[in-house]
Amino acid sequence: MRHKPLLSFTLFLLAAALHAQTPTKAPPLDVLSVKPDTSDSHDGSISLRADGIYVQHAPFRFLLLAAFGNDFAEDHIVNMPSWAGDQFNVVGKVSDADLSKLHNLNREQYIEMRSQLLQAVLAERFQLKTHTEVRQGRVYALVPAKSGPKLKLSGDNPPAEYISPQGQHVQLGTMATTGQIAGHVAPVAMLIRSLNSAGQLDRVVIDRTGLTGNFDYALNWKPDSPAPTTDNGADDTALPSLLTAIQEQLGLRLEPATGPINTLVIDHIEKPSSN
């Protein structure tokens, strides 16, 4: 298990609509502001709004991971700068003429749009240049447990919004926070991305479940560090480890294996000054 400092960072992968659409290319950024974040907040967020991309209190490493679709575990990004933990606030707006391109996106289009806009931010203000390599290495293969998968298959026509039995609004896709991953109308690929971004495993996770379609699921575990607390601030010692939670709650397990690892190589990067 990796023992890295965990930030209270929430990354939303959501969809405004789920009907099939043709691929959408991100419009160019008309206004771009990148500023170092000097606050003490670690509640980072990256969101796509009707007029562009907004980032608050986000470390550079998360900007990089989100920009490339979370296809790379942080341990497999080469030449990460020493200031990767520095946080930034970003506002990237598109012109009025391009606003219509940001409406009615399905999940895949949303993620692709966000990635394209973040890549534009990193290229323009961070002077980022990269290339990718695929290397064989030690991985965890996510496979069905003997008890069988426990993920609930989503309906054929899921609603554009999901309201939990407790009356809470839940965004579609995956939501990952420290010690928690929740999926609503989400494919296994999104679960894999969240597991690889959790900072709790010493290997990259690859998909060998054979599961297709969209699922609803909830995964809760006791992080390595810091100790989780309940809403009232008390230590929650009842939660299992991540490996146990995956098997008990999802009916899946992580199996040590050898497999392909996507590697992102940073060829050039510059730390931006405030503008």
Q: Could you tell me the strand order of the sheet in which 87-94 lies?
A: 29-36, 87-94, 52-59, 45-49
Q: What pLDDT does 7 receive? A: 40
DSSP state of 235: B
pLDDT tens-place string over residues 23-63: 467 778 888 999 999 888 888 888 888 788 899 999 999 89
Question: Cα angle at 233 between 231 and 238, to 5 degrees?
Answer: 80
Q: What is the mean pLDDT of residues 53-79?
A: 86
Q: Is the pTM for the entire model greater than 0.75?
A: no
Q: What pLDDT does 156 receive? A: 64
Backbone dihedral region of 176: left (phi > 0), alpha (psi from -120 to 50 degrees) or beta?
Answer: beta
d(CA 224, CA 160): 35
Question: At which residue do the structure tokens 């810091």 appear?
Answer: 226
Q: What pLDDT does 135 receive? A: 87
76 and 266 in contact (C-beta within 8 Å)? no
Residue 18 clears pLDDT 50, i.e. is over it: no
